[in-house]
Structure 1
């Protein structure tokens, strides 16, 4: 058989879900901690054996009692947490009785009772007609004082409209819950906070990508510039050191080693080229490893061509030096022969021959020394010229190698930036999708609220009008009961 209350609501909208509760034929006694709930349960169990009196933990989730006895202490008026507890236990039950306990030890319990009644009346219209009584279920002295509570509870349970009012109250709670749920769906549980977080994440991802790209670009340019300077400086220094070494070798060069000096210069130039090539390859590879970029290895070597030394025959110079040497030798020979003729006449012939031989030797020595010194001067100028060409070739090769490495590193950096850009775009797209999903969910929730709230409000108006009509019927009796309780 369909409940008349359900029929009333279904006439407004049959799609409204009915309250999913199980009505239990019990009296629930509840209240804040240390209010004396257990004592009231025991006293009511003794005085009303025909009723089942339980505490909140005896009801399962989804169970609703027939009546609620809410017990508070006479120590102080209700607090916000006490009112919230009453809202929770009496959400689906219309029959509510307020009890101020421990009136045997608190003389001001009537003032507390009046204050509690006023607080609840301000909290919700449904609490304006709640009867309030004083009780002492477990007094320190004397017998329990629960007669007024028992009479009030029996009167409430005897109301012929109790079941209908409880069902209406359950429907009211159900409709209010539906409306609150729709409002929460529109507001979204933390939706605005989540949207703010998503926007911050989106901005942070883009800023981090731009910052990383800029930093990597600056680091690449800085490393390339440093490498260009350092490698050019290394090539110049290497050429300068080889020139100084070769010039030292020229200073001690003998006549026999003049012809092979060109081969030595070629060997040293090749060593310089190899050293520069190794240094360039190593430093460019280190740059790629430090920047985590792929760099193409240097597959070439600097080419240095060293020709033969420009040593020329010394014909005219040798003849001139031979003439000068002969004059010098003749002078030495004449001087020696005269000295021997004056000192030892018997050796005059031998002295003349010895002087002639010594003159010839001195002449040859002077010619040889002069030729060697001239060759050394030529080789020194040639070494300076060769090392200059080597330095120029090294610097050009270093520049080309660094330029090629810069292009290779730039390609690798561009590929890495493209990969990072794709990942950043994917992250931004994911964040944008979630932002759009929240926006769509909010719009859908708002549309659903706009569609269902008018129906829910109409049902609430009908349920409350029915409740008001039933409460007006019992209002006179409750007024008399409240006056007797006072």
Structure 2
């Protein structure tokens, strides 16, 4: 069949072949015969690979082996000498042996099976019964050592030279090659899932749609509780430090220092408040950093209150102990005075003078003892007041710390929720884009498959016409994959 005869086929067939197989059409136009070779067929474990290797080793340039029976000029059917051919061998032969292609038979493993001659005669009879074209078929025995390979090579070369090139066969080959291209492309399109990476990206995006809001909020709560423990410990440490300093200063304080000690305690509380505020600020900054959010104006949530120390202690109430101290002091003073002036009583002239001197010394001793007892009591009074004042200050510090923590937790939670909304919006937009792209890919894939089906139908109609002209049966090409 010439190029003009190719144009006699349906126009859609010619168009499909031109699009899919331009090289084949160019060969037909130039009159060049298609490159063909030997296709080796046979049942499994019949020794096909070993026999083909032996033929190549004998003369590598004499034959060209092909992988597809469509491209075969000669078919080499390898039979096993272990037993006569059966249904499997005949089915393979039906697939590969087209009427226009000669078949050369070889019987392998004759060096292993002694009854190979009987098996060969049985095979010849079965082949003649199977098809009239195989009635006079010659079966060439070959052995693993190379025996019979030269005769087989000569038979293959004779069969190849005896086959005259037929233009119609060339056109049939081009059509079958085109069909094979279309089937392979359709299979590749069908097996390839379009948009696999996009689907994986869509799954990942939906998994993180909320920006891990639940995990971040849970981590934030844990961090807040940890910060609460640390800051409460810091408050307790500052209160203990202030109490220790206050007790030491009060124990050494004189009357004037005790009178102004409320101002000193207020100054100390302001210093400790600064340390507490610095610790809270540093811990909350670390909390925000761990949460990975940025909070605008974080210090405006809970302003730092001015540390207020309660007013100075109430005047100490002078009770029974003070009166008893006066009596005890007077008694002790009189006894001390008598002891001091006892030497003077030995002089009669000074005996009268010892009385006022004794009274004076007793009064001084009573006054000093009473004043010392009052000073000690005043220290205890101020110490008690300082302890109560620090309890009040600690309560204010704890209130301040808890307020700052709650405000920071609320602000960070709002920031996390805001970021989650933005992330969800971005993910929704990206998922919508992915869905559009996936629909486009699916539509494109369906269009490609539909186009392949239409082109395949056009090529099949052309194959049917050419096979009718060649006298070949209208075989299903899918069987060539057997």
After TM superposition, list the pairs within 5 Å mapping 1:444-483 onto structure 2: 444-449=447-452, 451-468=454-471
Q: 1:97 aligns with which of 81, 99, 103?
A: 103
Q: Which SS does the other structure have where 1:68 is aligned? A: strand
Q: CA deviation at 1:409?
A: 2.2
After TM superposition, list the pairs within 5 Å mapping 1:226-265 onto structure 2: 226-265=226-265
8 A contact 1:92–1:167 mirrored in 2: no
1:379-437 CA deviation, whole Å, 9 max, x = no partner? 13431342133123212221232233223423442354345435544654464345323
Distance 1:289 1:151 in 2: 84
Distance 1:95 1:330 in 2: 149
Q: Which SS does the other structure have where 2:9 is aligned? A: helix
Q: CA deviation at 1:444?
A: 1.3
Q: Does 1:384 align with 2:384?
A: no
Q: Does 1:108 align with 2:116?
A: yes
Residue 203 of structure 2: aligned partner: 203
8 A contact 1:336–1:351 mirrored in 2: no
Q: CA deviation at 1:218?
A: 0.3
8 A contact 2:331–2:366 mirrored in 1: yes
Distance 2:323 2:157 in 1: 156
Seen in structure 2, the aligned counterparts of structure 1 residues 410 and 42 have a Cα distance that, compared at 3 Å, is closer
Residue 480 of structure 1: aligned partner: none
Q: 1:135 aligns with which of 122, 131, 140?
A: 140
Residue 274 of structure 1: aligned partner: 274
8 A contact 1:28–1:68 mirrored in 2: yes
1:60-95 CA deviation, whole Å, 9 max, x = no partner? x9x967x3252647556999xx9999999x899942
Q: CA deviation at 1:220?
A: 0.8
After alignment, is 349-358 or 70-79 more displaced? 70-79
After alignment, is 291-300 or 130-139 more displaced? 130-139
After alignment, is 275-284 or 327-336 more displaced? 327-336
After TM superposition, list the pairs within 5 Å mapping 1:354-393 onto structure 2: 354-393=357-396
Seen in structure 2, the aligned counterparts of structure 1 residues 382 and 87 have a Cα distance that, compared at 3 Å, is farther
1:317-362 CA deviation, whole Å, 9 max, x = no partner? 9997897578547744785599668766455234324312311211
After alignment, is 248-257 or 351-360 more displaced? 248-257
Distance 2:402 2:153 in 1: 109
Distance 1:71 1:83 in 2: 10
Distance 1:171 1:244 in 2: 105
What stretches of structure 2 of length at least 5 have no aligned partner?
41-47, 475-482
Q: Does 1:223 align with 2:223?
A: yes
Distance 1:288 1:266 in 2: 32
After TM superposition, list the pairs within 5 Å mapping 1:16-31 onto structure 2: 16-18=16-18, 20-21=23-24, 22=27, 23-24=32-33, 28-29=37-38, 31=40
Provide the alpha-carbon RMSD of the alignment: 5.2
1:150-169 CA deviation, whole Å, 9 max, x = no partner? 797289525xxx51441353
Residue 478 of structure 1: aligned partner: none
What stretches of structure 1 of length at least 5 have no aligned partner?
46-51, 472-486
Q: Which SS does the other structure have where 1:306 is aligned? A: coil
Q: CA deviation at 1:219?
A: 0.4
After alignment, is 316-325 or 31-40 more displaced? 316-325
Q: Which SS does the other structure have where 2:166 is aligned? A: helix
**TM-score when scaled to structure 2?**
0.70
Distance 1:379 1:235 in 2: 23
Residue 394 of structure 1: aligned partner: 397
Seen in structure 2, the aligned counterparts of structure 1 residues 74 and 249 have a Cα distance that, compared at 3 Å, is same
Seen in structure 2, the aligned counterparts of structure 1 residues 244 and 86 have a Cα distance that, compared at 3 Å, is farther
Distance 1:24 1:343 in 2: 165
Q: Does 1:173 align with 2:176?
A: yes
Distance 2:109 2:336 in 1: 156
Q: Which SS does the other structure have where 2:471 is aligned? A: helix
**TM-score when scaled to structure 1?**
0.70
8 A contact 2:330–2:365 mirrored in 1: no
Q: CA deviation at 1:236?
A: 3.9
